[in-house]
Every structure is written in structure tokens, then in C-alpha cells.
Homo-oligomer: A and B are copies of this chain.
């Protein structure tokens, strides 16, 4: 019986796959992949973005330069109109100093650290020093006596779980230490926090990322520490529980700055009032070059426009290619885009029917995270046979991306897809000095761009229009 049902499923799937290969969608996808793999410009665009412009922290001059560059590329690729949607973004600088030393018995061991994004500097930019309390859980601080924490530096040292196949899930299971650790430590009386870098790799790179201070709690300085150094400290604490660590940082926050989302629009031929948004985020952290995060998403987005123009595609709906600002430390670009979209939905005949994001790296594409209604999810999953020849198999429900996530509150709810590249290497580079152009693979980047463009076309062709 079981065997029979297996065979039935297999036969049906095969029949469906065979049917898929000869339909117009199948031919369209083939032309998209062919264009990306033979005339692709994503790799050279990424080189320009990372090497000529460099990293692009919100509020920085290089972020402003990237906005100009992105606008120019969209115009060059033939967008009908290109504009900047103004967004006030935070301004924070890492400063020139991030020093930390462990004093272990007679030894002084330098620790590789960097400020978490948004951290205050150490008082008067001078060094602080204290004993260390190590915890593996932010909540563990609640169970400790105040005297065990007061005046100390808290080391948050829970590793990402290696048995989770999807590294994003392992990241999600550990990143509360980075986001909430500093405030939890401060509440318990600590003077500083070190957070184990969010990576499976045992490396000597600190991996930065945003923290969030709670309003009512004293702000203490917090730094990412490399996994190798966190492990060293952990071992040293076994024999030297009273070892001390110093920390000195001169990072600082300034007044907000006016920047914005870069938007290129290509007006639809049949349903121009229906909008599908596709994008990645232009800002990046200020160490490394933001090549995978999210230079890849930026050039995927630009390449989707280029490919569809090159193959002579005529969109039914209006396509908006968006380079969002400030994903890393505030998501103000994504929020502002959704706020304006809600107004468009309400005050005009425009309606946002779909959105796609690429913000998980430039690795070989595996599929999509689907954030949509049940019926829209079924439509997207019906494309599995079409994408199989391109080794695209993940059609799982999940968050589609930080930038577009605020759009999910719109009514009607847009169908949202997040590009899912393979994630095994992503956190090797993420938010570190190694997130550079050299660590992006040309063919993998091109395949990602093609997959992104292909899904855009499928949404354009097959999303049902909202019922009036």
C-alpha cells in the first residue's frame, strides 16, 4: 500500500515535470538562465560596489556614493523612472580603537574584538577592566547573585548549534546574545559585555552586528569576540576564575542623516496598478566590504532588471527594483517603504501584490522562503517542476527578508519570497572583515541572479489579481 502510493506520487511528479519542460514558462526560465550565465554583469557590478565604493554603513559617505551608483546603473539598464525615497538613518562610527586583553595569571593575552553596532564607547574612550562572568544564556543572568555580576564583564558564549542543517536557524538560536546581552548584563550591574561571534567557524575574526539597548537601562559597551578567543577565555576561566579582561573602544553615535531607498520602476503593460517589489539592501557593516551581505542582493536586483530587458520581457505588472537603506541597524528603509506602500494602497489605485528579497548571500541558489497566504503558497509550490532543472528545490514557508517584512501588514497581503542560497558558508563571512568580493563565486552569483529574476517573472505571470 505504501509502495503503491509512493509510485503514484512519483508518476504524478514525473508527469508534471515532463509537462513543465515544454511550456512557455519553461522556455522563459531557460532564456533567463542562459542570459545570466553568458552575458552576466552581476559579478562586475559587485566588484565595483565592493572595491570602488567599499563598505556602506548607513549614514556614511560611501552609502551615499552607493545610492548614486545604484541609481545610475538602474537608469543605464532602462528603468522607466528612478528616484530616491528619503529616509533618515542612524549615524554611528566604530572609531579607531577596539582593544581587549585578558590577564590570565602572569600572562596577557590579546583578544580579537570589535564593537557591536550601536555600542557606546568605553567611558571617556578609556579602558575598563574587570573580572569575567561567563554565561551561555541571556536569561542565566537572572539566576545569578548580583554580587557575581556587579562590576564584571559578561562573556556571552553560547555557540551556534552545529546540528541544525540550516545555518540561519542556528544563527537565530544564538543571536539574542548579541541583540539583548548588553542590556541584560547592564541590568545586572555589569560594566561591559563580550559576545561570542555568530559563526560556526572557529576563527580569529570578530563578527559584528547590531545590539539593541533597552531604553530604561544603563548603556554599557559591548563587543563581539572571535570564536577562538571566546573559547580560549572559556578554558582559561576553568583554572583562573578571577582572571580579568580589559576593554577599550571609541565608537560613538551622532545625529541622524538623510539618505534613502533607491527605487527603479518599470511600468507594467497589462496591470500597471499592481506592483511587485524586488530588492536587497544597499547598506552594509563597516568591516569587510558587505559583499555577501548584501552586495549580492544589490547586484541580484540590478541583474534581474538587466536580464529581463535583455531577453525582451514585457512585464504585466509594474516592477519596482529597490535598494533599501539601513537594513543592518534599524531597518528604517524597509519600514519607510512599507509606510509609503500602505498609503499607495489606500489613497490610489496602486496595490502591492508581491515582493521579493535577496539578503542571504551570493552562494548557489537552493530555493525560496515563502511568506504568503495558503493559496498563494500553493501557487508558488506548483513551480517546483519548472525550477528543478536549475537545482532549485527549497519551497519552504519562512520569513522572506527583513527589508520587505513590514509589507506583510498590507491589506491585501502581498505574496513574498526570499531567495535562499546555500547557507553553509554564509556565517564564515557574515559581518566580518572577510565579507569581501574575493569570497563570492562568479557562477554562484550568476545563478542566484537568474533564480531571482525567474521567480520575479513567475510572480508577474501567475499571481492572481486581488479581488476588488
Chain A residues within CB distance 8 Å of chain B: 3, 5-10, 12-13, 16, 33-34, 37-38, 162-163, 165-167, 200-201, 364, 366, 378, 381-382, 389-391, 393-394, 422, 424-425, 428, 441-444, 447
Contacts and interface: CB of A to CB of B under 8 A. Distances in A.
B391 A10 contact: no
Given A5-B12, A13-B9, A38-B163, A443 B200 contact: yes
Given A5-B12, A9-B13, A424-B443, A162 B381 contact: no
B447 A165 contact: yes
A241 to B, nearest CB: 27
B9 A5 contact: no
Nearest to A443: B424
Copies in the complex: 2
Contacts of A390: 165
Contacts of A34: 163
A364 B8 CA distance: 30
A378 B424 contact: no
Given A8-B12, A33-B165, A391 B366 contact: yes
Given A9-B12, A12-B12, A378-B10, A37 B364 contact: no
B13 A13 contact: yes
A163 B6 contact: no
Contacts of A201: 442
A5 B428 CA distance: 42
B364 A10 contact: no
A381 B37 CA distance: 30
A39 B108 CA distance: 32
A13 B17 CA distance: 14
Contact of A424 (B9, B162, B364): B364
A442 B424 CA distance: 10
Please classify the interface of chain A as helix (H, G, I), strand (E, B), loop, or mixed, using the class held by over half of its residues.
helix
Contact of A16 (B9, B394, B424): B9
A361 to B, nearest CB: 13
A421 to B, nearest CB: 11
Nearest to A366: B391
Contacts of A441: 424-425, 428
28 contacts: A3-B382, A5-B16, A6-B378, A6-B381, A7-B378, A9-B16, A12-B12, A33-B165, A34-B163, A37-B163, A38-B163, A162-B443, A165-B389, A165-B391, A166-B391, A167-B443, A200-B443, A201-B442, A364-B424, A366-B391, A391-B393, A391-B422, A393-B393, A393-B394, A422-B422, A424-B441, A424-B444, A428-B441
Contacts of A394: 391, 393
A167 B12 CA distance: 29
Contacts of A391: 165-166, 366, 393-394, 422
A428 B444 CA distance: 12
Contacts of A12: 5, 8-9, 12
A37 B366 CA distance: 21
Contacts of A6: 16, 378, 381-382
A260 B6 CA distance: 42
Given A5-B12, A38-B162, A391-B394, 11 more contacts: A9-B9, A9-B13, A12-B12, A37-B162, A165-B447, A364-B422, A364-B424, A391-B393, A393-B394, A424-B444, A425-B441
